[in-house]
Structure 1
Amino acid sequence: MLDDKRIRIVTGHYGSGKTEFSVNYAVELAKIKRKVALVDLDVINLYFRSREKSSLLENMGIKVISSSINAPAVDIPAISGEVYAPLEDESYDVVLDLGGDPAGARVLGRYEEFFVNGKYDMFYILNANRQETSTADKAIEYLKRIENMARIKVTALVNNTHMLKSTTVDDLLRGQKVALEVSEKLDIPIKYISVIKNVAALLPKDMKGEIFPMDLYMREEWMV
């Protein structure tokens, strides 16, 4: 995490687990005494947004920025002007949680000045258990559509192949095969293999990419 760029953009297919990764990533940054801002730029999906955990995250010292309208249960695509503050203030480490699908990447256009000269990392969250990204060719097509809409390039892949609390080692290994093929075809590295903690402990240690154990902040205890 320490060698990632200060501005991290998290993108991927709807339901790939990008918000869970974004939240966990911000929490890990905060643990190493970073000044962290988590920006919820999801104007696509009403559910499972990082803004839902604002109180919890702010208690951890993470600044959460989302809608300019204080109505989290209302589907209004309004983005706060506060987003500019941590982007401009280089004392912040910033995690931008985009909405799923290429349409979710469109919002980056208003912040393009902050991404010039490669001053960002854009993580493509790949869940091979999603039909639309189940093969390398499908995942590449989806990635290209996101890049075209965002007008910037993906810099790293994250294998986040999961079945929520039912995730197995086999899920991750199957997803790793897809991620490796994407990586080879596009010359984009696999940076992280993100997975729930009990499965992370069982993964082979020689996998390409850093194993990133996660808690399920976005899933309530009663949810499967």
Structure 2
Amino acid sequence: MREALRRITIFAGHLGSGKTELAINFALKLAAQDLPTSLVDLDVVNPYFRTRLVRERLEGLGLTVICPRGEWERADLPALPPVIRGVLEDHTRYGVFDVGGDDVGATVLGRFKPQLEQAGYHLWLVVNACRPFTRNEKSILEVLAGIERACRMRVTGLVSNTNLGPATDMDVVLAGHRVVQEAARKLGLPVVLLGVRRELVGAGRRDLPRDVALLPLDLYMQSSRPEAL
């Protein structure tokens, strides 16, 4: 990581950006460094791609997953457990927040603005340049502005995560990364991470840019697709 790690890292983005997989992989990376880490599910937008759906598996890998439990687990309501405030107030613990969807999901984040500012945070916008609402610089800027308005907080960096699901190859990744770089330059923000599926990293490592931190991605959400429910 070229950006100094802060205790709270928030992943936000438009539907289909891949922010949930990014949040999971980033949280697991922190836990692998023996940092006490909580993954906070604030996704009230997409019922099929929420970290709560793979909670048991992630907890088996050493994460604490903060999400609604029991009858509220699959609810579309923002049933947010009070323990979220515990993550924000525990100075020994790192928190990774998965914020659902777009500006609608980001509104929920705004409820914790005072505590987040006190704890110190990064708010990172995840961009998949293959998605219709973030295909170019103009649309990325519009999505970012909407999220900032909704949560009343400033985005501090972009995460490059262009993919076409199983059809992703290195050409897709690099073409999308160039789009994210242009948007970042326009905004005066850093590109803090480049997400690439782990199986692509080995074959394409020579082509990957060296000016951004690489996060190899393992996929955890496949089993929570609608057809698997």
Query: Taking structure 1 as reference, are residues 80 and 44 closer, same or farther at Cα in structure 2, changes over 3 Å only?
Result: same
Percent identical across equivalent pairs?
36
Secondary structure of the structure 1 residue equivalent to 2:87: helix
Instruction: Say if 2:162 is the partner of 1:161.
Output: yes
Residue segments in structure 2 that go unaligned for 5+ positions in a row: none
Q: What is aligned with 1:11? A: 12
Aligned mates of 1:99, 1:158 — CA distance in 2: 16
Secondary structure of the structure 2 residue equivalent to 1:47: coil
Residue 213 of structure 1: which of 213, 216, 220 is its match? 216
Scaled by the length of structure 2, the TM-score of the pair is 0.91
Residue segments in structure 1 that go unaligned for 5+ positions in a row: none
Q: What is aligned with 2:43? A: 42
Higher mean alpha-carbon deviation, 70-79 vs 208-217, is at 70-79
Higher mean alpha-carbon deviation, 130-139 vs 207-216, is at 207-216
Higher mean alpha-carbon deviation, 74-83 vs 100-109, is at 74-83
Scaled by the length of structure 1, the TM-score of the pair is 0.93
Which runs of structure 2 are paired with 1:52-131 in the superposition (5 Å)?
52-67=53-68, 69-116=70-117, 119-131=120-132
Give CA deviations for 1:196-217 in whole Å, capped at 9, x if unaligned: 0111221424343111101011
The alpha-carbon deviation at position 221 of structure 1 amounts to 11
Alpha carbon RMSD of aligned pairs, Å? 2.0
Higher percent of residues as helix: 2
State the one-letter code of the partner of 1:19.
T
* Aligned pairs, number: 223
Aligned mates of 2:53, 2:105 — CA distance in 1: 18
Give CA deviations for 1:74-124 in whole Å, capped at 9, x if unaligned: 333311111111110011110010011111000112211123268100111
Query: Taking structure 1 as reference, are residues 132 and 205 closer, same or farther at Cα in structure 2, changes over 3 Å only?
Result: closer
Q: Which runs of 4+ in 1 moved over 3 A?
A: 68-71, 205-208, 220-223
Aligned mates of 2:163, 2:25 — CA distance in 1: 15
State the one-letter code of the partner of 2:52.
R
The alpha-carbon deviation at position 10 of structure 1 amounts to 0.5
